[in-house]
Structure formats: C-alpha cells, structure tokens
Structure 1
Amino acid sequence: MRKNKEETENGYKQEQEQHKEAKEKIMELTSRLDTSKSSESELSTKLQAVTEELNKFQTKSQDLAEQLATLEQARASLDDSLRQSQTALGQKQQDLEQSKSDKDILEQTLKKEILDYRNHMLVSAVEEAESIIREALAQAENPHITTITCTAEYLMDRATPVLETISQLKHNIETYTQDPQAISEVVTSVSEFSHRLADVIVFGFATSHAAPIEEGDALSGECRTCGEGSLELLTDIKQASYDKVPSKADNIDQLVKRILSHAEALLPKVEDVKAEQMGDMVDQEMQQTTEAIAQAAEKIASMLAHNREKYTGIQLQVNEGILDSCNALMRAILKLVEKSKNLQREIVSQGRV
C-alpha cells in the first residue's frame, strides 16, 4: 500500500509537474499568440502604409513616365530643330563663303578699275599737257607771231611762278608714289605746269623778237630747250618712271632760271635812254604837275568866291583863312616844282642819270 501510495504520490507529482509545464507552455503559446496578433496588426498597419506609399510611388512613377515621355518628345523636337539649324547653318556658311569670295573678286575688280581710272586720268592730263607744250613750241615757226613782241619785265613776271609750280609737281609726284589717292593733286600740278610753262615759251619767243639778234637767239633757244625737256619730263610721268622725275624737274628748273637771267639782261637800263629824251620826259612831267597845281589854285579861288557869297561873319573868316592857307601851299608847291625842274635839267645835262 505504502508502495502504491508512494507511486501514486510520485505519479501525482509528475502529473502536477507535467500539468505545470503544460500550463506554462499554454501561457507561453498564449503570449506568443498575443504577440503574433499584435505583430500581425502592426504588420497590417505597416502593410497598409506601404501600400499607400506604393500607390503614391506608382502615381509619381506614372507622372514621371508622362514627363519623361514629354521630355523625350521635346528632345526629339529639339534634335530635329538642331538638325535643321545645322543644315541651315551649313548653308549659311556656304553662302557666307561664297559672298566673301564674291566680295574679294569684286574688291579686286574695283581696285583694278580704280587703278585703271587713275592711270587714265593721269595719262589724259599728261597728254593734254604735252599738246599744250608742243603748241607753244610750234609758235617759234609760226610766221604770224614774228611781229609780236613782249617786254622782258612781263616775261619775268610770267616765268617766276613756274619755279614754284615745278617744285609743287615734284612734291605731288613723290606723294602719289606713296599714296595713289593723291592723283587729283598730280593732275592739277601737271595742268598748271604745262599752262604756265607754255606761257613762258610763247612770251619768251615774243621777247626775243624785240631783243638784239644774238640775245634773242639765245633766249629763243633756251625756251625751245626748256619745252623739249618738259616733254621728256611729261613722258616719264606718263610711263610711270617716277624715279626719273626729280632730276628732270631740276633740269627744267635750271632752264627756267636761265630764261629769267636772259630776260633780266634784256631789261631796259636808265643809261640806255638818251639825255634829250630824259629831258623831254622831265619837262612833260613838270608841265603836267604845274598844270595840276594851277587847276587846284583856280578851284580854290572859285571856292573862295562862293564862300563870300554864301557866308558872312566868323564863318566867312574861317573859310577864307583855310582857303588862303591852301593858296599859300599851292604857291609854295609851285615854287618847289620850278626849282625841281631846274635841278632835274642840270642833272640830265650832266649825264648823271
């Protein structure tokens, strides 16, 4: 019995322990179940939140996809515009290169035309100048001007400005070689040079007609040499041999100076006038002066008579005083003229003039 009791007690204890263990397991499982339920609720909440986020993401993804499609479309349009722009740019570049080429050709053509025009202007001016000089030289053989004469003084008056013209021509030619745009100054200088030198040649021939034979031949020879040298100078200019111009111009300058020297030698001297002629000239001048003084005296007397009729008192006295002074001055001048006349006659008679 005792043994059975012990076995029963032991069995009961074992059952108690098993029951306790089972209870603990049940409690553990219950706790786990509660925890699982709580986790499931949290997971459900999280799942719902994730689902909402996913929906938002999908919405954004759709928006981004639409935006991407729009951007792709815009990029395609830009690519197409870029290709068109590149094509147009290429065409523009070709047109620009063609325009530049045409411009260069046009510039070269215009430069050549301008150069040809300048050369034509200069050649025409030189040919006209040559014609003027040749015409002047031809007057030496013209029988119609052999009786025409000119004074040496007038020849000098016409020849002196030529020296400045020659200097200006040299300067303008030098400037033209450095700056072709100075063509107008060269044309002007050539024209002025030819006209002035032609005058010198013609008046030189005319002056030689009134000069002694030897001096006249020398003067006409210098004029002819000067004209021929001028033609050589103009030929060098026409042929663009500008390096020869200075020496040729200097030669013309010397020839003109020699013409001036000949003209100066032909100027009339005082001693060339005869004493009788000088005396007659003095008498004529003195007589004219005397007559002028007499006329002035008569006019003063007339004014005095008029004043006596028109004025009285102090005004008459003042006017008469002025007129009397004028009469006294006229008488003094007349005496001075008479003395000068006598003195001049003595000088002429002694041959001191």
Structure 2
Amino acid sequence: MSDDRAERIAEFIEPLRVAPGSTVRLERDFDPREKAGLKKRKAADLLRTGVELLAEYQSRLAAQDTYGVLLCLQALDAGGKDGTIRHVMSGVNPQGVRVSSFKVPSSEELDHDYLWRYAGRLPARGEIAIFNRSHYEEVLVVRVHTENLVRQKLPDSARGSGVWKRRYREINDWERYLVDNGFKVVKIFLNLSKEEQRARFLKRIDLPEKNWKFSAADVRERRHWAEYQRAFSKMLSATSTEWAPWYVVPADRKWFARLCTAAILAHTLMDIDPQYPQMPEAARKELLVAKRGLEREAPTGMPADPYAARHPSGRDARTSGRRAGKKKRG
C-alpha cells in the first residue's frame, strides 16, 4: 500500500468485515443504522476523496493489466445497490468497469450449472466487474424459494439435504480459484432494516417518477423477511473466507453505505497496489526519437512541447528549453 491513507481506510472498514469462521446472526451482530459517528456533510467530503482514489488506482489497474476485481453487491429490495454503484463509480473510466444484473435465469442458463451464467460476466485483467446481485442468489432466493431447485433441472441426488452446505463449499472453491489467478473478489452485503425498506417502498409509490422502481412482487418477498435474514446469516457465516471476506455495510443511511463501499473497494485496489508499466530502455529510446520528431513539427511561435512548457518541473523538462519563437525546422 502506498501511504497512510491505506492504513486509515483499513481501520475504518475493519468493523464491517465478517471474520472468517465466525457464526453470524445478522440482526444481533450488525446495526443497519450505524454511521460510525460521522455526519452526512463530512461523509460527502470523504466520499469525494474515495472516488478520487478509485479513479487513480483504476487507471493503474488497467495499465498494469495483471489483476482484475470482482465486486459482488447483495441486498434485499430497496437496499440501495443501484445508487451505490452510481455514486461510488462516478469518477472511474467507464471503459474499465462492467456492471451485470442477474434476473430470473433464462432457459439457456437453466440448461447449465448454476455458476455458468456468472462465470461469463467475470472481469478481464485490468477491469472491475460489478455483480448487481450475484452468484449468492443461488443460496439466498433459491434457498428461500426451494421450488427453484426443481427449475434448475438438478438430478434428485443434487437436491438432497446437503445441497446448501455443498453450494457454500463450491462457491468458496470457485472464489479461491479466481483469487489464485489474480482476480480479487470483494463481497458487500448492504444491510437494510425492515422499517427502512417499508419507508423506501412507500416513497416509490408516493412519487410518480419512482413508480417504475416498485413492483408488487417486492411486497410479496417482504413477507419472507425472517427467512431471508436466516439465509443471509448462514451465507455470511459459511462463505466469509480469508481470500474473499464479506463486509456487512449499514444501509439505512444511503450516504454512509456509499462511503463504506468506496472505502472497501479502494482498500482492495490499494492492497493490489498496481503500477504503471516501466518501458524497456530500447522502447524508451524509440519514444524519445518520436518526441524529437514531433517537437520539430512545432509551428512558429508555439512551444516545441506544450505539456513540458506548462510543467517545467516534469520528467521531460530537459527537452522543453527550446525557445517558443524558434522557426520550424525542415
């Protein structure tokens, strides 16, 4: 990690991390309204700093082209996933980020193993991929609504009592495989309270411009609140690993959830500490030859190297001493 910013970020996010091997009871262990003593105005300043850090390190990640990052966002309906993605990723180069949302599986997807559709959306090296809902739906929605196991066309032997324990193991092994091959896995659960979800649903109904975001199916799923809380608790307990830990982010305050998410992602990139590639000496010499040729093309009255002229303390200041009035050479 490059400086003391990394240490401060690591300290800030540590209470959100699910210790590998621990047993989680969500409603007991994590408060959806937590804000770590911060005020919204201060958090806005910190978020801007976090977005700047992400932009800096994403540029390095793309240039190095060695690591990729997978960010998995899980939450109940109205948990704030879309807004979190929009705010946290606002400063990064969109060419280096891919967002995938996973809805009800298609017939083609159901003809493959349950991880198949997620594997096809993984990041390339140098990229950040965001799963808006993720492969963890397979131990959440499918666990709450077990009829989905039938739709997945599994043989009888794969639908027995050990199916969830087996899926936890398979997911952990898959993520270990990704990490071992240079793809960091970041997992964030946006922890929303039942009352805050109710308030957000009502807002979507009350405001016409938000009606499109509401579905009666959301209310039907809300009836399974207790079942989802148990499924989340079991998932966090079984799949928070040393190589891919879970972070439980308080989500009742959107501004705090966004700040935490930015800090967690920035921590991951700073831990990778990607570097811009160093050019071999031969290639560097070719650059300097090209530079001299471009400088000779400078029109009369223009600096030979406009950038170096504006930044005389830069690395190439030694070449910026050509006088602006010098006539163009042949």
TM tier, smaller: under 0.3
Q: Give the alignment's TM-score, normalised by structure 2.
A: 0.24
Q: Give the alignment's TM-score, normalised by structure 1.
A: 0.23
More strand by share: 2
Look at both structures and tell me which one has the larger radius of gyration over its CA atoms.
Answer: 1
The structure with higher relative contact order (CA 8 Å, sep 6+) is 2
More helix by share: 1
